[in-house]
Structure 1
Amino acid sequence: MSVRLRGSALLCALALPGTLVAEVLADGDEAIELGTIMVKGEALHRDDIPATVNRVEAERFEEMTAVRIEEVLEEVPGVEIGNYNMGGVANVIKMRGFTGGAHGGDVAVYVDGIPLNEGESHADGYADVNVLIPLEIEELEVFKGPSSVLYGNFARAGSLAFHTRQRGEYAKAKLTYGSFDTWDAQGAFGLSLAEGLYNNTAIQGASTQGFQDNSQWSRINASTRFTWDLNERLDLALSLRAHQSDWDAPGYIPKSLFDAESTDQAPNAEDDGGEKSFYSERFDLGLSLSEELRLLYWLYGTQQDFTRFAKFGYDPGGQTERNYDRSVWGTGASLNLDAQLADKPLTAILGLEYYDEDTDWLRWDTSNRARLDKTEDRTFNITTFSVFAQGEWELSRYFRPTLGLRYDSFGGSYDNRDPDGEPFDSDMNDYDHWSPKLGFRSLLIEGLDLRASFSEGFSLPDGEAKYQTDLDVSPEVIRQYEIGLSYDPIEALSADLALFILDTSDEIQEYPVGSGLYKNLGETRRTGVEAAVLWRPLEGLTLSGDIALIDSEIRSSNDAALEGKEISGVPDRISNLSAEYRSPQGIGGKIKWRHVGKYYIDDENSERYDGYDVVDLGLFYERPLGGNDARKLRLGAEVKNLFDEWYSQSVWSGYGTNNYAVSWPRTYWLSMSLDW
């Protein structure tokens, strides 16, 4: 019965836009100004969301010198990147005390509304942002915790919403060359092709030899978007994206090699690496039903083929080949209201979405990429039906409440054809969850805005456990409590402070250990404070800093010895301090210091990594072209890791030692960018 209900809702979502479009085309003379196409939640005013939302603007993406696009997240308070230095393998994102974002399921990642998270492949929630091009990004929104009603599964630590450029006439190019024969060439342009018809296109080619043995990596990205304003009420968009990547991976090294500051691979290392192809398509429709009400409709697809060769441990042998052939389609619609209620501004959204993902999962034992025995042959299907609603009402400057609610339900199937076992298939256990989001903002005095919120998220059982018919558990529950202050007394000064508690309950754990039985019994707590300030004391001079202090505790566990321990991998402190100067003549420079504090690397809290400090220094020269500020040439030179810190952003304990993915040493970079 539930499947028939979902199907009916889906058919309504597919049929409604076509009916309304026909009406608009038949009567298109009513002038209603079109806004920029926004996926899902156009009406929601981001400045009124009562939880922390950090933004990274296009300028940062354009100026960044980085091997990987996710390094821009180091601009966001409290975020650390666990860099594996393994080419096209997605790095982990640590945020608000969670340590499995992007390489696991702790962070939801979207680009223009297309989810990058993989429900059932390399890891639940795996999300590869290597498919994105820095020059195409208009803005990145980082929602902290499960605070956004727009995102459900995998959004427990937060959500990343990448928005690409729409419309506009521009042309941008950037070429970067750096140490270890590393180069990155990007181009992006926006065109007005005809009256109401626009195109935005970007392309990137990048390659590096890497600083360790067996660390070469190359990739090509391309994206294009066509936007058509049919009349004053209706706009359409078609977006396409392609990615191809090939890499070698040095793997982890043991403590003995790390202490010796060796760039060699570990003993008995093999030819790890992989390759990936990724394609996505998206259709968007925006229809203004009136001056106050707007309909958004979307339909998207993703096709992906991902192969990884990986070996863990230091004994001879043990490499595997893992192949994930993935196909996704999804559709949805939302009604967006921007109106007055009792002469007070009211914004609201009501939406629904359907998602279907198929993954063919294959695995072989290998030796230096040569196949030996086939060990796994599986097919997973996951379907998700979601409904979300939220309203923001500005009753007064002192009380601007927000109330939201999201519902997610999951189904699917699992087909196991492993060579050494008896074939079987199983339907996914039915899981669903209601996630409330509520809070308020209050402008206490001019420039001082208070926010307070409560939001809830969830987590499903890992991997094939979701399809285990005798597993009688409910989704894990994540609850965030947050209070914050933003202070913008003058244009030259801004500051933000947030205090949060994140509680997880009903964690799914094996009990008794080794029994194969699971219960909802684990509990953890994460508490923290995030603070950031930006000050422009002089013309051209910008000083900025941020700090995050995080504490974690395992409050209940199937292993009583772990209760009271800290969660492994969570740094106790993350901070940034930078100064940037731009002279009237266009000459400038920037220096940045980043500190990541100590953290435990095992569950028992017996082994600890002391963290690291890195300083980057850069100089640049900008010159307008032809007397037009929009046209400019920028030349840059940068030294990253100025003091040649030997460190790792990914450390863990296992195989009788501590294991390290070594981070890049001191590197030198030259760049040239052109806007015209």
Structure 2
Amino acid sequence: MGRALPFFLLFLLALSARAQTLALRGVVLDSASHRPLPGVTVRLDGRPNDGATTDALGRFRLGGLPAGAYQLRISALGYRSQTTALSVAATPEPLTVALVPTALQLAEVTVAQPRDLNQSVAAITSVDQQLRPVNSAQDLLRLVPGLFIAQHAGGGKAEQIFLRGFDVDHGTDFAVSIDGMPVNMVSHAHGQGYADFHFVIPETVEQLRVYKGPYSARFGDFATAGAGEFTTKTSLEQSQVKLEVGRYGTKRGLLMLDLLGQRGHLFSKKGQESAYLATEYYFTNAYFEQKQHLNRFNGLLKYTGQLSERATLAVSGWHFNSRWDASGQIPERAIQEGLITRFGAIDPTEGGNTARSNANLQLTVDLPHDAVLTQQLYYSRYDFNLYSNFTFFLQNPTDGDQIRQNEARHLAGYRGTYERGFAVGGRTLRTTLGLGTRLDDVALALRRAVRRRVTDTLVSGRVREQSYFSWLDATLPLSDRLTLNAAARLDYFRFRFREDRFDSLSGRAAKARVSPKLNLYYQLSPAVQLFARSGLGFHSNDARSVAVGAAGTLPRAIGYEIGSNFKPLPELVINAAVWALHLQDELVYVGDEAVVESAGPTRRLGVDVALRYQLSPSLFADVDLNYNRGRAVGAPKGENYIPLAPSFTSIGGLTLKRPNGLSASLRYRHIDSRPANEDNSVRARGYFLLDAVASYTHRRYQLGLTVENLLDVDWNEAQFDTESRLPNEAEPVSELHFTPGTPFFAKLNASLFF
């Protein structure tokens, strides 16, 4: 594979140098606000494999076209489709297309994905963004079909993620990014791949792209179960002030301010620009007896401007800080013995604080010969400080087992992509060449503490971890119906850890990974697309263990699946896939104990089904069904369960959207009971929850109500099989420990638009 990749690249470059192509370019706008529309489908009738979707600036490009007459069809959810007759000459002029808003119609959804075929649930996620209510950063993650989250140490800590039979912990096997910046943290003080998404203001997010499995060369580290790409808005349709109040002292304030007004709404002319400011403040005491005192502030300033007709610059700055108290996980026996209630605490001094500041710059240039060059630079300053106590008095019967995990991180990176389409035998070959690097410089420590007072240092040192990566991706229609996508990615990691006191814990290591991908897509009919995908991926392990040889460096993942996107009825969209994923070694650094645990090789098999159905012009139904079976390979039967790996999850609901501005949604979440340890002797309990959201939107204001856990059921959110000892116990006990889930919770909100 290592020799084949350079020859493949030279072949493509030579072929592209000889190819003479025509490209049709344009921008799609909202006819009312003149804002650019991302995610719009652009297709040429009679050429099913020639299509595109608009980018964040509403721009599209159709390359490899011979001169002639065409019918251009443009469609998007919530807009009236438009068909335009045009002639492509030797130098076609850029188009500007304005779409007229209309009622949401699932009949407009297309199941073919002409630009990014590996985004298999594109049709599903585009519907969800229109229908599913989003009230928090956590709700953004829940837009990923089949993804569950759980909070277990106060609202300021990153959520635990479950996807495709994985307990992803805080992100070890699911890559998350926002505007191209990585969210996952390598060699984090608390856990590998830690992905704290709380610095994102939900109202600023424009798009979500979901990739399941290791099938896309765009992603490397952590993208085994999948990846989620979030993109913030380039401009605001209008400014907004929003206030929310709810139970348990919950309050939230939001300000989104358009800084340039109408000047920022047209991107089709030279010199147009937009800028906006978004700020958010959030506070809650939550539902625990020990008040949470969660304070969070977010700020985002973003500017987008066209430097010329072919060059666009996007610059953004972010700041986030949060602090909180937490009750942590509690053992079942403490409740049964009457020591505490479900919402009590064994150690009421848990909690922490965290902060993140980001700078992001992206330059996009349209080049001759139907090429696009995108370059991105980003920098993050990140601080984290967490006090936890999972075993209570197991190690220290007098003062307790509280620990402090903290780090100060500098994260910097570069990513560049060169995209080009050219004609091959009368068809369009689309290629992407990408390269980049990421550097993490982290001072981190694990210490013992008593009521947030540090008493002893267990591990303290500095991690310097740098990765270099490149990939080549090529998509070629083999016929009018069959499309081939082939890609390869090269990642190279350098790890270094210097322990402050013990040279034996210091060291360095390096490792490279080549990850080929091969995917096929067959358009059986305009309403049925079939796909078969395969690929290799990996997740990295913590530098503290890798540097001294205690853990595998880059355990490989091998994934494959077959499935379909189809519409048996014009108003019904279905995505279905049967998949398998093998991990070479499921190694996870456990930051709570400063050790590495290995489950050895594992295998997962599963079935995903997602349905979106329009029952009437105003009523919509959706359901996700996900079945997974995961086992450790080589372990004895009955002792080969993967702890906390879900076997069945389902999310769904009914949504009403009326033309008069009234909308309402009744939603459910269900996860079944599952093994909490390798022999299934302890089980994490499943739950079924109902939530409800209602709102009324006017041109100048919006009023809304959100209710979580409508039936007020008792449920366990995060759950673990943990050995612990309580103050009155002579011997430790291993049993289920859990964080109680939210009881009935209601919240009102009101917004003004100007």
Q: TM range, normalised to the smaller chain?
A: 0.7 to 0.9
For the pair 1:587 / 2:652, whether they are aligned, the reply is: no
8 Å contact from structure 1 (residues 258, 660) kept in 2:
no
Cα deviation code 1:616-638 (max 9, x no counterpart) = 12332233x3xxxxxx5321223
Instruction: Tell me the CA shift for residue 465 of structure 1.
Output: 1.7
For the pair 1:437 / 2:520, whether they are aligned, the reply is: no
Superposed, 1:310-459 pairs within 5 Å as 310-315=388-393, 316-418=399-501, 421=502, 425-427=506-508, 429-459=509-539
Aligned in 2, Cα 1:460/1:203: closer, same or farther, shift over 3 Å?
A: same
Cα deviation code 1:435-468 (max 9, x no counterpart) = 1111111111221111110011113344412101
CA distance in 2, matches of 1:517, 1:323: 18
Q: Which amino acid aligns with 1:125?
A: G
Other-structure match for 2:150: 82
Superposed, 1:388-537 pairs within 5 Å as 388-418=471-501, 421=502, 425-427=506-508, 429-468=509-548, 475-488=554-567, 491-506=570-585, 522-537=600-615
For the pair 1:110 / 2:187, whether they are aligned, the reply is: no
Other-structure match for 2:19: none
2:364 corresponds, among 286, 290, 295, to 286
Aligned in 2, Cα 1:116/1:281: closer, same or farther, shift over 3 Å?
A: same
8 Å contact from structure 2 (residues 121, 575) kept in 1:
no
Other-structure match for 1:236: 313
CA distance in 2, matches of 1:111, 1:509: 24
CA distance in 1, matches of 2:413, 2:617: 48
Q: Secondary structure at the match of 1:340?
A: strand
Aligned in 2, Cα 1:528/1:621: closer, same or farther, shift over 3 Å?
A: same
CA distance in 1, matches of 2:721, 2:423: 57
8 Å contact from structure 1 (residues 54, 143) kept in 2:
no
Aligned in 2, Cα 1:234/1:582: closer, same or farther, shift over 3 Å?
A: closer
For the pair 1:549 / 2:624, whether they are aligned, the reply is: no
2:714 corresponds, among 625, 646, 650, to 646
8 Å contact from structure 1 (residues 487, 494) kept in 2:
yes
Instruction: Tell me the CA shift for residue 476 of structure 1.
Output: 1.7
CA distance in 1, matches of 2:382, 2:702: 36
CA distance in 2, matches of 1:178, 1:301: 36
Q: Please, which moves more after superposition, 159-168 or 110-119?
A: 159-168
Give the superposed CA RMSD: 3.0
1:599 corresponds, among 655, 670, 674, to 674
Superposed, 1:118-267 pairs within 5 Å as 118-121=185-188, 122-167=190-235, 169-192=237-260, 195-212=271-288, 213-257=290-334, 262-267=341-346
Instruction: Tell me the CA shift for residue 494 of structure 1.
Output: 1.0
CA distance in 1, matches of 2:61, 2:559: 25
8 Å contact from structure 1 (residues 135, 187) kept in 2:
no
Instruction: Tell me the CA shift for residue 64 of structure 1.
Output: 3.5
8 Å contact from structure 1 (residues 436, 455) kept in 2:
yes
Cα deviation code 1:1-57 (max 9, x no counterpart) = xxxxxxxxxxxxxxxxxxxxxxxxxxxxx997687468xx99995552274557645
Cα deviation code 1:47-92 (max 9, x no counterpart) = 52274557645984997364x4123433433211122151211111
Other-structure match for 2:741: 663
8 Å contact from structure 1 (residues 86, 215) kept in 2:
yes
Superposed, 1:53-72 pairs within 5 Å as 56=125, 60=129, 64=133, 66=135, 68-72=136-140
Aligned in 2, Cα 1:606/1:42: closer, same or farther, shift over 3 Å?
A: farther
8 Å contact from structure 2 (residues 541, 554) kept in 1:
yes
Aligned in 2, Cα 1:345/1:258: closer, same or farther, shift over 3 Å?
A: farther
Q: Which amino acid aligns with 1:365?
A: R
CA distance in 1, matches of 2:365, 2:372: 6
Instruction: Tell me the CA shift for residue 660 of structure 1.
Output: 0.3
Q: Which amino acid aligns with 1:536?
A: Q
Cα deviation code 1:285-314 (max 9, x no counterpart) = 111112510111111111111111111123
Other-structure match for 1:275: 353
Cα deviation code 1:190-222 (max 9, x no counterpart) = 454764222133211111011002422110001
CA distance in 2, matches of 1:265, 1:32: 60
Instruction: Tell me the CA shift for residue 482 of structure 1.
Output: 0.9
CA distance in 2, matches of 1:112, 1:42: 21
Instruction: Tell me the CA shift for residue 506 of structure 1.
Output: 4.8
CA distance in 2, matches of 1:91, 1:57: 24
Q: Which amino acid aligns with 1:112?
A: D
CA distance in 2, matches of 1:53, 1:608: 35
Aligned in 2, Cα 1:299/1:571: closer, same or farther, shift over 3 Å?
A: same
Q: Which amino acid aligns with 1:135?
A: E
Q: Which amino acid aligns with 1:203?
A: T
CA distance in 2, matches of 1:426, 1:165: 43
Identity of aligned residues (%): 24
Q: Secondary structure at the match of 1:170?
A: coil
For the pair 1:303 / 2:381, whether they are aligned, the reply is: yes
Q: Secondary structure at the match of 2:138?
A: helix
8 Å contact from structure 2 (residues 215, 519) kept in 1:
no
CA distance in 1, matches of 2:197, 2:753: 25
Cα deviation code 1:135-175 (max 9, x no counterpart) = 11001222112222111011111112111111454323332
Other-structure match for 2:30: none
Aligned in 2, Cα 1:54/1:425: closer, same or farther, shift over 3 Å?
A: farther
8 Å contact from structure 1 (residues 50, 402) kept in 2:
no
Aligned in 2, Cα 1:412/1:500: closer, same or farther, shift over 3 Å?
A: same
Unaligned runs of 5+ in 1: 1-29, 511-515, 626-631
CA distance in 2, matches of 1:126, 1:618: 30
Q: Secondary structure at the match of 1:438?
A: strand
Q: Secondary structure at the match of 1:465?
A: helix
Q: Which amino acid aligns with 1:571?
A: P
Q: Please, which moves more after superposition, 270-279 or 78-87?
A: 78-87
CA distance in 2, matches of 1:59, 1:573: 21
Cα deviation code 1:375-418 (max 9, x no counterpart) = 33200000000001111122334201101111100013211113
Other-structure match for 2:644: 569
TM-score of the aligned structures, taking structure 1 as reference length: 0.86
Q: Please, which moves more after superposition, 126-135 or 233-242?
A: 233-242
Instruction: Tell me the CA shift for residue 176 of structure 1.
Output: 2.0
Unaligned runs of 5+ in 2: 1-22, 28-53, 63-112, 264-270, 394-398, 590-594, 724-733
Other-structure match for 2:34: none
8 Å contact from structure 2 (residues 419, 433) kept in 1:
yes
Aligned length: 623
8 Å contact from structure 2 (residues 449, 456) kept in 1:
yes
8 Å contact from structure 1 (residues 254, 266) kept in 2:
no
8 Å contact from structure 2 (residues 610, 623) kept in 1:
yes
TM-score of the aligned structures, taking structure 2 as reference length: 0.77
CA distance in 1, matches of 2:61, 2:513: 25
8 Å contact from structure 1 (residues 168, 192) kept in 2:
no
8 Å contact from structure 1 (residues 58, 138) kept in 2:
no
Q: Secondary structure at the match of 2:286?
A: coil
